[in-house]
Amino acid sequence: MNIRTERVEIPVSDGTTMSGHLCRPEGDAPRPGLLILQEIFGVNAHIRDVAERYAREGFVTLAPDLFHRIQPDFVGSYDDIPGSVKLAMAYNEADIDLRSAADFLSKHPAVIGDRLASLGFCMGGRMSFLANAVAPLRCAVSFYGAIAPDKVAYAERLSGPMMMIWAGKDAHISEEKARGSVEAVRKAGKPYVNVEFSAQNHGFFCDARSDYDAGAAAQAWALTLAFLKTHLG
């Protein structure tokens, strides 16, 4: 499927402006919308590529620059994780940004306004869980997101089914925290899908990182695509 890509400027409810990478299939037919939420490394080449891949599957995708207040257009290095972590630790306006990004996407003329979802990785996985609680989403996907302990309270507010994907050998998210995240959703009585790739490390979906696993990434791609199409059509 041929797509168009463009940089957009998203008005945020606190008066700031956030850039975003927007991708959409060619043609006039409106499509479901999908937020693609960044790792701590910003809206880099990998995140833009993921947004474009999902656009080729029929979604209008938007990857917002969540660090727009701190360091606009930041692209971190996979060889300097502490530098990106420092930036992520300073980020605390997620609720506002996620609602504003979802609102922008829902009002785009190429989008079916009430058919939105989110998908994110690492920090973005955590943000995807939050987006499902603060915006009217049909569903959301979190790849190895650090949801527990401080975001589990949002489980009560999830608006759509939640898919959580974990890496069994994740050095950053303990098995206890992963279990705590799933248990919070279960206790809240919200629908969810829980998947663990037991032999993989954190970041296994990203083909620009040393922990990339092509087989697991291909399986995760098929699972997320089926999940999104089930709930978004």
In degrees and rounded to multiples of 5, residue 133 shows phi and psi of -100, -30
Tell me: the pLDDT tens digits for 142-158? 999 999 999 999 999 99
Sorted by where each begins, the domain ranges of the chain are 3-232
The helix (H) or strand (E) run that includes residue 13 is none
Q: Provide the pLDDT confidence category of residue 111 given band limits of 50, 70 and 90.
A: very high
1 pLDDT higher than 90: no
Strand ranges across the sheet with 3-11: 3-11, 17-25, 60-64, 31-37, 111-121, 139-143, 162-167, 192-197
Tell me: the pLDDT tens digits for 161-188? 999 999 999 999 999 999 999 999 999 9
CATH topology of domain 3-232: Rossmann fold (3.40.50)
pTM of the model: 0.97
